[in-house]
Chains A and B, each alone.
Chain A
Amino acid sequence: EPEVTQTPSHQVTQMGQEVILRCVPISNHLYFYWYRQILGQKVEFLVSFYNNEISEKSEIFDDQFSVERPDGSNFTLKIRSTKLEDSAMYFCASGPLDSPEGEKLFFGSGTQLSVL
């Protein structure tokens, strides 16, 4: 079965540093998402991306965050100046439109970000 790939699996960074989390969605998918999960808490929506632009974003997704699909295969989440509270597991997801399973999201295995 095709899968969403995320790299790295773990990222440790110093507060104030920029990080880029990378995702390779499933190739024929059209919608891309980032979610995050702070340890022990629920999975929270950050942003959705379609047709090379943000389609929706949550209040968590402030000016410190940005997303990009630089080359037609990767989908990245950048945090410009990390804060301690950005420490979380970040999940990328993608979803197809024109298929019977268009309503099913495929999640990657996550990147655990630790901000020190």
Chain B
Amino acid sequence: AQKVTQAQTEISVVEKEDVTLDCVYETRDTTYYLFWYKQPPSGELVFLIRRNSFDEQNEISGRYSWNFQKSTSSFNFTITASQVVDSAVYFCALSPDSGGSYIPTFGRGTSLIVHP
């Protein structure tokens, strides 16, 4: 069984602060994919990143960075110099690499509020 835990229900920061969203996962699969999605107030789900379990390199994309630590089963997401437009619910998700369909299991999400 797969499980994704986002322990932080809501985080509130002031613009320009750095913020880290935590994600801890459980899986029995040896290969899997991890994702982060953003859900802005408009409701759609926006793909941010996917990471293969073989690839533990951290990734940086502009103000976003991801820290994948297989040893602790964590895939944390950091926003540097947060902006009001970053306010959204962020979901971490996990899917097996079953060689067929990919069915992400989502965490409960972390609501990020960035105040001006």
Interface residues of A (CB under 8 A from B): 31, 33, 35, 41-45, 48, 50, 55-56, 89, 91, 95, 101-110, 112
B102 to chain A, nearest CB (A): 6
List 20 A–B pairs whose Cβ atoms lie within 8 Å, in order of A's numbering.
Answer: A31-B101, A33-B103, A41-B108, A42-B91, A42-B107, A42-B109, A43-B37, A45-B104, A50-B100, A56-B103, A102-B102, A103-B33, A103-B50, A103-B97, A104-B35, A105-B47, A105-B102, A106-B47, A107-B47, A109-B43
Are A55 and B101 in contact, with the CB atoms below 8 A? yes
Complex Cα distance, B109 from A41, in Å, reads 8
B52 within 8 A of A: yes
B97 contacts A45, C-beta separation under 8 Å: no
Interface residues of B in 71-97 (CB under 8 A from A): 91, 93, 95, 97
B106 within 8 Å of A (CB atoms): yes
Enumerate chain B interface residues (CB-CB to A < 8 A): 33, 35, 37, 42-47, 50, 52, 91, 93, 95, 97, 100-109
B43 touches A104 (CB 8 A): no
Partner of A42 from B101, B102, B108 at Cβ < 8 Å: B108
Please report the C-alpha to C-alpha distance between residue A104 and residue B46 in the assembled complex, in whole angstroms: 11
Q: Does the CB pair B91–A43 fall under 8 Å? A: yes
A95 to B11, CA, bound (A): 31
Contact flag A110-B103 (CB < 8 Å), given A103-B33, A104-B50: no
The answer to whether B106 touches A42, judged by C-beta atoms less than 8 angstroms apart, is: yes
B residues less than 8 Å from A50 (CB atoms): 100-101
In the complex, how many angstroms separate the beta carbon of B44 from the nearest chain A beta carbon?
Answer: 4
What CA separation (Å) do A107 and B95 show in the bound complex? Answer: 15
State the CA gap A98–B37 with chains docked (Å). 22
Assuming the contacts A42-B106, A43-B91, A44-B106, asked whether A107 and B45 have C-beta atoms less than 8 A apart, the reply is: yes
